[in-house]
Structure 1
Amino acid sequence: MKVAVFSARPYDSRSLDEANQQAGAAHGVEFLYYDATLDVHTAALAQGCDAVCVFVNDRLDAPVLQALHGMGVRAVLLRCAGFNNVDLAAAERLGFFVARVPAYSPEAVAEHTLALIMTLNRQTHRAFNRVREGNFMLEGLLGRTLHGKTAGIVGTGKIGLATARILHGMGCTVLGHDPYPSPDFAGLGEFVSLQDLLARSDIVSLHCPLTIQTRHLINDDSLALMKPGAMLVNTSRGGLVDTDAVIRALKSRQLGHLAIDVYEQESALFFQDRSGQIIDDDVFQRLMTFPNVLVTGHQGFFTTEALQEIAETTLGNLGHFAAGTECPNEVTSG
């Protein structure tokens, strides 16, 4: 069975090859790696393959799926939890098997969330640069003690729960909001409405999928509800946040800090080395001018353990497709 792996980086090929090797020759999987992002122009690279393996910024809309189907591709393997980049109705209509990796080391993303909070709060990134230049002044590095502060977790799935456990352990009062509340949250904090969470939280951390209902969940109206000077953290999906609205809130000082590992238009930037080029995304460039904004390039998942789990689960999903058996990670439009 041949699988075309799109948006492939060296760490992807290492982890998938290692998992494939451990599965044994009987597994019979050949991976073809392409660093190109999957779209209507690159779909032809999957010619002769049974499946495609894709990541968060690969595009699988109806035209791409139609092109893949015409080449004999019948399975889409998402090596991520989100599936907002797949037209599931079109995939179902064409008979595609679509499966994801629903929970790969949720602690990895939760720990990165904490790293963003701590770095931005205590200004350790700025302090590092100052000390390297021989500047040991503390002015401008003032932070706040997190113990006793209120942290709002929007989305209490596995990653949200892992984040809540960390913040609860640090002595924060934890609030949660989720249309499908997790019973495991009960010992960590209190479920409240989104409006109440925004109004009471010193830190708001987003851990929910990107859907029609959650797109631009953070907008002018929701930012106005937040406690003045609060911190917003997003390690989920860029589209949850209206970036223009956030810039307005930063300029007015309504929003005190912003930490993001994802960005609404990240597909043109992230997972590439653009250091020698002009970045012509004016919105992103405006964000980078604020001293109270911290951006990382979608690395929340990036740990050895998470990559191993992604590779093993992806191979497991492929095994279900090959055998025609029920897959617990299959995604449908229903």
Structure 2
Amino acid sequence: MKLQTSTARLSLVPTRLQHSAIFRTGGILCAQPSRHSSLSTLLSTKRNHTTSTHVGQKSSWTHPVYTKEQILAVRTAHRKAYTWQDRAALGTVRLLRWGMDFVSGYNSRPANTNTLSKAYVMTEEKWITRFVFLESVAGVPGMVAGMLRHLKSIRRMRRDNGWIETLLEEAYNERMHLLTFLKLAEPGPAMRFMVLGAQWVFFSGFSLAYLISPQICHRFVGYLEEEAVITYSKAIRDLEDGHLPAWEGLQAPEMAIKYWQMPEGQRCMRSLLLYVRADEAKHRDVNHTLGNLDQNTDPNPFAAKVRAQVQSVAGSTGGLRQLEENSRKGT
């Protein structure tokens, strides 16, 4: 019997998740270069990158195009913990956040606080170090969850209801964040060792946890992404307030311009942080939504072929309120 395959019938449709839009801030995307712009080589000299305006070929996993209004509308938000599973996930995230802050010397107080010791002032180099470590950890959950659901689908010989694609895209997106920041600074041996250790511990622990309770793990990632949005929001405020002069005239790396399809006039460092923050807000809402679903039977509302997506939360907190109402109802 002769088998024929038609590649014309096959197509890869990238998952386009609902854009989160829950933080409001004013002003233009790119700050004008100031008298401090000559310091922009502070970090870029560590690893050269091009700022060519030629977009060229897109990423292999095309990123949805954000509008200016969407990335400026993102804001911080928090989902209340209603069940013991929620409290366990939130407590774990807060513990990890405390440990990471202690190791990295991070302080959430404004940079212009007079009582703030110089050791805790967040410089450009400290921010990049924090971003690299954060993204190296954030890239693990999506890959672990996608891998385990992939194996489960094979083992049970059943469809996955569209979850795998979204989870793998999340992992890919977080890795692109990491690779982008690596264009701005080269981590030293100590940092690489920390990332290696954190990845080994987190991969093992998260894999075991996901086998036990995927729902708690998605809630954990939702709370983790809440913290990521807070972190990037503070970095953006520091840049806007003039506390990061080396970034005021620094353009985003070419790979970032390609991946986010950044238009002309929106390719500076502030724009890059806004794009990354929008991604983290999206992951936050997606994982909180997945944490509300039945892990075995419910279809993924964010899958490319499933258009029953959650209501847009652009300019309001309606999305999170709906998640909280669903959680109270046990949905």
Into which bin does the TM-score normalised by the smaller protein fall?
A: under 0.3
TM-score, normalisation: structure 1: 0.22
Structure with greater proportional strand content:
1
Structure with greater proportional helix content:
2
TM-score, normalisation: structure 2: 0.22
Higher relative contact order (CA 8 A, sep 6+): 2
